Amino acid sequence: MNKTFINKVKQIILEHLEDENFGVDNLASEIGFSKSQLLRKIKASTGKTISEFIRETRLKEALRLIKETDYTASEISYLVGFSSPSYFNNCFHEFFGITPGEYKKKFEKKIIEEEAKPKQKKTSLFKHQKNILLGILSVAVIIISFILIKNSINTRKKNQIYSIAVLPIKNLSNDKTNQYFADGVMDDIMNHLSTIKDFKIISRTTMDQYRETQKTAPEIAKKLKVSHILESSIQKHNDSVMIIVQLIDAKKDKHIWSQNFEREFNNIFALESEIAKQIAAELKVTLSPNEIKKIENKPTDNLEAYKLYLKGRFFWHQRTEKDLNKSIYYFNHSLELDSTYVLAYAGLADAYFIMAWWGWTPKNKGFNEGIKFAQKALSINNDIAEAHATLGGIVTWHKWNWAYAEKELKLAISLNSNNATIHQYYSELLNILGKNKEAREQINLALELNPYSVIMNKINSYIYYNNSDYQKAIEAYNTTLDLTGGNYIVSWDSRLSIIRCYIHLNKDKEAFELIKKIISLDTSADDLQLFDKLYKESGIEGVVYWFINWLLESKINKITIAKYYGCIGDSQNTLKYLESAFEDKLIEMPKIKNCSDFNFIKTEPRYIALLKEMNLDD
């Protein structure tokens, strides 16, 4: 065996150990051989392929680190070039016949056992005293080692997830129109932190509720169930930017890190990356090479395009028709300056998706534009989770291609599991498909990240509803009502849903009282005493028929009308309005498959025909 050559190859691999992408091509280039030459030489010397030899070298180095350091198995996996700890565990077990964790336990146990072995008695008093001294030292070493290991474990528990609430950044600039810039920088920092698997980052939508808060860090932490709070302020002056950042252990209300950063504006991306990496370092989180790559990614070289993009996102967050049109304007102008700015394409896809959903632009046009811009973003960078999510969402509601939608949404989650909207979109798809358990898991994840979202709470409500858990649905709809903040459409729909929950629970009196309360808001309604008489004579069924007619005069959604007929078991009218809703191409038609109001018509040929039209006849 050519030991000199093999040692040289090993040295090159070790120099690039943390680079998970370092492979056959890189090794051949470094050593100055062609791939075929290198393969023959390594095969002749070791009996292994190049890939096998690289992997074996990585695993042997991992073994050394387990023996000589206090790193966790996950940390070691990244240090030796494995991007997935689970894959590293499998490879380690396959090669050594034992998992990294098991090996570390056995190794530490062996050391302790050897140190604890009794020493042989010596005739010499000097030797006897020496052995006593060595024994004392050994015990001391074991105790100290135990304390160090314990402290290390306490400092950072294996697989610990840090939940962080990033408070809205304070704009210290005299120019208050710079708020778009302050909010944009906050978004960027949050997005960087979201790429770190050991962090759970609360959504921007929820954190906006604390923009002018007087609550203390422990109060916010208790409400949001987070371990840390990140406070920051920013001042932009001409060509310079100053950001002050403070990381707080929220439960102890203790500042654990604070730093002032001041940079030229043209270094803004490096500054945002530096802050995210520093936070990870303060919390003793080891970043994988892939996480570092994402954090350090520079989205554009054109700072004017970046400013325009931030303005687009600022207006996008307002979620009104007027503001979304403004966001489209700024995203397009950003792309005029940098036609490869992938985030601006993703922003356009988001904006058109929302515009089409709420009917603020023609549905076909809006959805098709959303698909076009999402695919454009992904053609530049296929790792943009938000673009995959938007594509998956549009395909769900517009194309009814369930397999394609699920593929995109799963990929989006794999790229960014910290994005609440992605979990929301996936929960909606799973709910459509009747996968209630999985839908519940996904909406729970969404609400952990964005507990104050009106839309996510509303989805949470009807997932309970469709699982026939009507009492929990009522509680969730009431939470939604508390959060609506004047959103008439959402609050109206929630109240109508609560009525149906009462009917399913046979709480006819409660259903009647809520219907009566809604009717009383209509100044043109008939004498409410006559309404009481109707309930007394015809029961809740008679009231519902009357209420349906009242709703029809209000031009209510035909699917909602079908649901009310479904509540009282009127199959013919239920089918009539479902078919009419389908002819009108109402966007929420796919929801009918898993709606508990329609369970009683599951075997009706007309209902099955509707499902078949939507590719839901499984």
- Examine residue 232 and state whether it is found in any structural domain, yes or no: yes
CA atoms within 13 Å, Cβ hemisphere of 101: 7
Q: Tell whether the model's pLDDT for residue 153 goes beyond 50.
A: no
Say how far apart CA 405 and CA 430 lie, in whole Å.
10
CA distances from 75 to 81, 112, 224, 391 (A): 10, 24, 28, 34
**Domain shared by 74 and 124, yes or no:** no
> What is the b/e burial string over 578-587, where b = at least 16 CB atoms within 10 angstroms of the residue's CB?
bbebbeeebb
Which amino acid appears at position 3 of this protein? K
Count of beta carbons in the 10 Å neighbourhood of residue 356? 23
DSSP sequence for 187-233: HHHHHHHHT-TTEEE--HHHHGGGTT----HHHHHHHHT-SEEEEEE
Least confident of 183-192, 483-492, 553-562: 483-492
Least confident of 54-58, 177-181, 536-540: 177-181
DSSP structure class, residue 557: -
Task: Report how far Cα 286 is from the mean position of its chain's Cα atoms.
Answer: 20
Least confident of 124-138, 227-241, 257-271: 124-138
Q: Tell whether the model's pLDDT for residue 141 goes beyond 80.
A: no
Indicate the SS3 state at residue 261. strand
- Examine residue 174 and state whether it is found in any structural domain, yes or no: yes
Q: In this structure, are strands 170-171 and 254-264 parallel, antiparallel, or unpaired?
A: unpaired
**Domain shared by 170 and 285, yes or no:** yes
**Domain shared by 176 and 261, yes or no:** yes
Residue-wise pLDDT tens digits, 242-272: 999 999 998 888 888 988 988 898 899 999 9
Q: Tell whether the model's pLDDT for residue 15 goes beyond 50.
A: yes
**Domain shared by 215 and 125, yes or no:** no
Q: Tell whether the model's pLDDT for residue 183 goes beyond 60.
A: yes
DSSP sequence for 271-324: HHHHHHHHHHHHTTPPPPHHHHHHHH----S-HHHHHHHHHHHHHHTT-SHHHH
**Domain shared by 179 and 229, yes or no:** yes
- Examine residue 566 and state whether it is found in any structural domain, yes or no: no
Mean pLDDT of 18-32: 77
Q: What's the number of domains the chain is made of?
A: 3
Residue-wise pLDDT tens digits, 438-452: 999 999 999 999 999
**Domain shared by 197 and 171, yes or no:** yes
Say how far apart CA 271 and CA 189 lie, in whole Å.
9
Q: How confident is the model at residue 150 (pLDDT cuts 50, 70, 90)?
A: very low
**Domain shared by 211 and 243, yes or no:** yes
Q: Tell whether the model's pLDDT for residue 377 goes beyond 80.
A: yes
Residue-wise pLDDT tens digits, 458-481: 999 999 999 999 999 999 999 998
**Domain shared by 149 and 70, yes or no:** no
Q: Tell whether the model's pLDDT for residue 586 goes beyond 70.
A: yes
Q: Tell whether the model's pLDDT for residue 545 goes beyond 90.
A: yes
- Examine residue 303 and state whether it is found in any structural domain, yes or no: no
- Given 297, 317, 337, the domain boundary residue is 297
Higher pLDDT, 558 or 73: 558
Residue range of the domain that includes 211: 164-297
**Domain shared by 77 and 194, yes or no:** no
Q: How confident is the model at residue 133 (pLDDT cuts 50, 70, 90)?
A: low
Q: Tell whether the model's pLDDT for residue 414 goes beyond 70.
A: yes
pTM of the model: 0.72
**Domain shared by 293 and 257, yes or no:** yes
Q: CATH number of the domain at 181, please.
A: 3.40.50.10610
pLDDT score of 402: 97
Q: Residue 263 phi/psi, 5° resolution?
A: -140, 160
- Given 297, 320, 340, the domain boundary residue is 297
Do 321 and 361 form a contact (C-beta atoms < 8 A)?
no
Q: Which of 361, 347, 283 is nearest to 313 (CA)?
A: 347
- Examine residue 93 and state whether it is found in any structural domain, yes or no: yes
Q: CATH number of the domain at 91, please.
A: 1.10.10.60
- Given 98, 126, 155, the domain boundary residue is 155
Q: Tell whether the model's pLDDT for residue 134 goes beyond 80.
A: no
CA distances from 79 to 57, 60, 86, 93 (A): 13, 12, 14, 18
**Domain shared by 185 and 142, yes or no:** no
Q: Tell whether the model's pLDDT for residue 69 goes beyond 90.
A: no
Q: Residue 459 phi/psi, 5° resolution?
A: -65, -40
> What is the b/e burial string over 378-410, where b = at least 16 CB atoms within 10 angstroms of the residue's CB?
beeeebbbbbbbbbbbbbbbbebebeebbebbe
Higher pLDDT, 613 or 110: 613
Q: Tell whether the model's pLDDT for residue 282 goes beyond 60.
A: yes
Say how far apart CA 268 and CA 161 lie, in whole Å.
28
Say how far apart CA 62 and CA 75 lie, in whole Å.
10
DSSP sequence for 488-542: HHHHHHHHHHHHHHHHHTT-HHHHHHHHHHHHHT-TTPPPHHHHHHHHHHHHHHH
Mean pLDDT of 209-217: 86
Q: Mention every residue, 6+ apart, whose C-beta is less than 8 A from residue 324.
A: 315, 316, 318, 351, 354, 355, 360
What average pLDDT does the structure give for the chain? 86
Q: Which residues pair with 243 in a beta bridge?
A: 234, 261
**Domain shared by 281 and 175, yes or no:** yes
- Examine residue 420 and state whether it is found in any structural domain, yes or no: no
**Tokens 């509803």, residue?**
465
pLDDT score of 112: 63
Count of beta carbons in the 10 Å neighbourhood of residue 190? 22
- Examine residue 355 and state whether it is found in any structural domain, yes or no: no
- HEC per residue, 456-491: HHHHHHHHHHHCCCHHHHHHHHHHHHHHCCCCHHHH
pLDDT score of 181: 87
Q: How confident is the model at residue 412 (pLDDT cuts 50, 70, 90)?
A: very high
- Examine residue 245 and state whether it is found in any structural domain, yes or no: yes
